[in-house]
A and B are shown apart, each in its own frame.
Chain A
């Protein structure tokens, strides 16, 4: 009668003031991931209060937001970025925290390296000062983003004050069509329920289409749960989960492995579990998605057109649409396939894993980016993803097609390093947010899957990737 979320919640409950569902609870945190942007103030306050981390080996740190994706041998040029990365290095050294530094091959985006190392395991509570921590829920864990004060709280107490969320199940049944990926499911869900549709909920993704997804696909989906407003997204544990984890550096081995797997097998919602809300999608009806506005809910399909605000009755909504179209430089009723692009970005914690790179490479193999594309970037999610891709020769495919092959990091998803859009530039991006200024001030972002971004690079405008004959 329990949902997966209930099981994870109950398992980590240290203390509650009352049994009232609305009361604050103290939740134990198993894994604390740390990056350079949201941690310095937490470490500083911790030290000022004379406190120490409660359990140092629950923490794994990496710098990802500020790191350059080219010329790493010269270090970080921007002194402000450099100070932030140096501060993380110093804090980790001083406190004995495991950190993958910039020149370590294991360095990468925090939400890529956690699972890659087996540091994210089923049944864990995973937190990080980053909203895309929801990614890790793909492993049947309770994972969510926290603010800097909470980072300090977890450092000091190994716990978090939290209120139980409501539960939502999103069932996606059936088979995905050619060229349709986890990213398209995520955007279709957000298009359906809106960016605030999941506020106050923990979302469990289930159904045959979800079970058929690889771990990479499940991570993409859970990653975007926050864009639907839900702090946590999750998928039940199955053979795919367990096979992915086996043999990874931080994963248990021997007897402990057997013991862990036996427990992990229980991490699914019971057949008679009741959810506060249920949504059902037919996988076969999902088409490749493209966002047209400045919020992930402003999304349509590759066959669609930019909507017309004149058809919207709600005044606030209409006003927001008008503002979005003005910012995006788009006219109502423009076919999505008529939108031409300046830049292409394949990367981010949403879509920078090996499977994403394979999907994009399959589209651009023996092709070239359109002459109108000023820059096409591939930024692998980690040094190990990069290494694997190079082993498979994907880097050569990208470079031959006119892409730049970069070092791992968050890069142009949020443009904290030098990778960014100039004012008015339009980008097909595999990242997660199309907010105003997200990829650079005045930059215009369209969110798509890696295969769709690759297809757009080849044609110079959006195009239905299924025409390329690869999935």
Chain B
């Protein structure tokens, strides 16, 4: 996993609640056995006017001019502003893969679905929970100002507006540590291998039916 570094990126507003993982990456693209290449089909049914299937040349497809990510001002967006319960639905990690592959590094919303939230951290995509009033204000500012960009400083847990105003956010200490250092969870867990073995040994005695 790449280390998460402070960056400044254009913000795109996706103004709807309960954006589900079927909308983020429709099921026909889940047939891939790879982790990459999902970005071109991010929000496929909203982004294109025709029906997408795996293997299609997206440069030949008709874009939906009304969909927010297709507006020229948001072309280079790296931060997605969203509403409540973002990422609800299935556990598909293809959803964060698609967002990351498209170029997003941060998603800001008032709430996220649990599994999606968890999956983001595993791949180095940062989901930030922000209170509704800050979010409403951000939506307004993004809509008003073309090229609106935020600086994301994970170390200090700050979003910095173009005016210099700071909004602080909370993040779990362990997850922050992993993101900042680009750490692999599995390697960290395997440092406890002896503990896992000891637990297993005890369990074999207490609940032997689980090991038949």
Judging by beta carbons under 8 Å apart, are B122 and A147 in contact? Answer: yes
A196 at the interface (CB under 8 A from B): yes
Judging by beta carbons under 8 Å apart, are B196 and A153 in contact? Answer: no
Residues of A within 8 A of B141 (CB): none
Residues of A within 8 A of B111 (CB): 196, 199
Residues of B within 8 A of A146 (CB): 91, 115, 118
Residues of A within 8 A of B27 (CB): 414-416, 438
Judging by beta carbons under 8 Å apart, are A319 and B16 in contact? Answer: yes
Q: A37-B30, A38-B92 are in contact. Are A441 and B185 (CB under 8 A)?
A: no
State the CA gap A48–B151 with chains docked (Å).
Answer: 35
* Stretch of B31-39, B65-73, B98-106, B153-161 contacting A (4+ beta carbons < 8 Å): B31-39
Partner of A263, one of B123, B200, B207, B211: B207
A317 at the interface (CB under 8 A from B): yes
Judging by beta carbons under 8 Å apart, are A316 and B17 in contact? Answer: yes
State the CA gap A21–B114 with chains docked (Å).
Answer: 17
Judging by beta carbons under 8 Å apart, are B90 and A130 in contact? Answer: yes
Judging by beta carbons under 8 Å apart, are B212 and A159 in contact? Answer: no
Nearest chain B CB to A276 CB, angstrom units: 15
Residues of A within 8 A of B209 (CB): 121, 252, 256-257, 259-260
Judging by beta carbons under 8 Å apart, are B16 and A41 in contact? Answer: no
B195 at the interface (CB under 8 A from A): yes
Q: Which residue of A lies closest to B211 (CB)?
A: A57
Partner of B196, one of A66, A158, A317: A158
Judging by beta carbons under 8 Å apart, are A149 and B185 in contact? Answer: yes
Judging by beta carbons under 8 Å apart, are A199 and B113 in contact? Answer: yes
Residues of B within 8 A of A124 (CB): 210
B137 at the interface (CB under 8 A from A): no
State the CA gap A26–B91 with chains docked (Å).
Answer: 20
The 0/1 profile, CB within 8 Å of A marked 1, for residues 115-152 of chain B is 10011001100000000000000000000000000000
Judging by beta carbons under 8 Å apart, are A295 and B31 in contact? Answer: no
Residues of A within 8 A of B89 (CB): 131, 433, 435
Nearest chain A CB to B15 CB, angstrom units: 8
State the CA gap A320–B85 with chains docked (Å).
Answer: 13
Interface residues of A in 311-353 (CB under 8 A from B): 316-317, 319-320, 323
B164 at the interface (CB under 8 A from A): no
Interface residues of A in 147-169 (CB under 8 A from B): 147-150, 152-153, 156-159, 161, 163
Residues of B within 8 A of A252 (CB): 209, 212
Nearest chain B CB to A349 CB, angstrom units: 12
Judging by beta carbons under 8 Å apart, are B33 and A44 in contact? Answer: yes
- A-B contacts counted at CB < 8 A amount to 189
Residues of B within 8 A of A116 (CB): none
Tally of contact residues, A, Cβ under 8 A: 78
Partner of B186, one of A24, A130, A153: A153
Interface residues of A in 122-141 (CB under 8 A from B): 123-124, 129-131, 133
Residues of B within 8 A of A87 (CB): 33
Interface residues of A in 168-205 (CB under 8 A from B): 195-196, 199-200
Judging by beta carbons under 8 Å apart, are B114 and A156 in contact? Answer: no
State the CA gap A229–B115 with chains docked (Å).
Answer: 9
Judging by beta carbons under 8 Å apart, are A256 and B212 in contact? Answer: yes
The 0/1 profile, CB within 8 Å of B marked 1, for residues 403-428 of chain A is 00000000000111000000000000
Most buried by A among B45, B207, B209: B209
Judging by beta carbons under 8 Å apart, are B115 and A145 in contact? Answer: yes
Q: A252-B209, A259-B209 are in contact. Are A147 and B85 (CB under 8 A)?
A: no
Judging by beta carbons under 8 Å apart, are B114 and A121 in contact? Answer: no
Residues of B within 8 A of A226 (CB): 115
* Stretch of A77-85, A102-110, A235-243, A367-375 contacting B (4+ beta carbons < 8 Å): A77-85
Most buried by B among A49, A57, A147, A159: A147
B76 at the interface (CB under 8 A from A): no
Q: Which residue of B lies closest to A87 (CB)?
A: B33
Q: A84-B33, A156-B186 are in contact. Are A441 and B26 (CB under 8 A)?
A: yes
Residues of A within 8 A of B211 (CB): 57
Q: Which residue of A lies closest to B175 (CB)?
A: A24
Nearest chain A CB to B137 CB, angstrom units: 15
B83 at the interface (CB under 8 A from A): yes
Partner of B33, one of A40, A295, A317, A438: A40
Partner of A259, one of B45, B55, B93, B208: B208
Judging by beta carbons under 8 Å apart, are B189 and A26 in contact? Answer: yes
A51 at the interface (CB under 8 A from B): yes
Partner of A436, one of B22, B112, B172, B192: B22
Nearest chain B CB to A74 CB, angstrom units: 19
Judging by beta carbons under 8 Å apart, are B85 and A199 in contact? Answer: yes
Judging by beta carbons under 8 Å apart, are A159 and B210 in contact? Answer: no
B64 at the interface (CB under 8 A from A): no
Judging by beta carbons under 8 Å apart, are A229 and B30 in contact? Answer: no
Partner of A320, one of B17, B45, B93: B17
Residues of A within 8 A of B114 (CB): 199-200, 229-231
Interface residues of B in 82-97 (CB under 8 A from A): 83-85, 88-93, 96
Nearest chain A CB to B18 CB, angstrom units: 5
Q: Which 10 A-B pairs have the closest CB atoms?
A: A252-B209, A149-B122, A147-B119, A147-B93, A40-B33, A145-B91, A196-B85, A148-B93, A131-B91, A80-B31
A: residues with CB less than 8 A from B are 14-15, 17, 22-24, 26, 28, 30, 37-38, 40-41, 44, 49, 51, 54-55, 57, 65-66, 78, 80-81, 83-84, 87, 121, 123-124, 129-131, 133, 144-150, 152-153, 156-159, 161, 163, 195-196, 199-200, 226, 229-231, 252, 256-257, 259-260, 263, 295, 316-317, 319-320, 323, 414-416, 433, 435-438, 441
In the assembled complex, 27 residue pairs joining A and B whose CB atoms fall closer than 8 Å, in A order, are: A14-B196, A15-B195, A26-B192, A26-B196, A28-B200, A28-B203, A37-B31, A41-B33, A51-B186, A55-B200, A57-B211, A80-B32, A81-B31, A83-B31, A83-B33, A123-B207, A130-B90, A131-B115, A147-B115, A153-B189, A157-B186, A158-B200, A229-B113, A230-B114, A316-B16, A316-B17, A437-B26
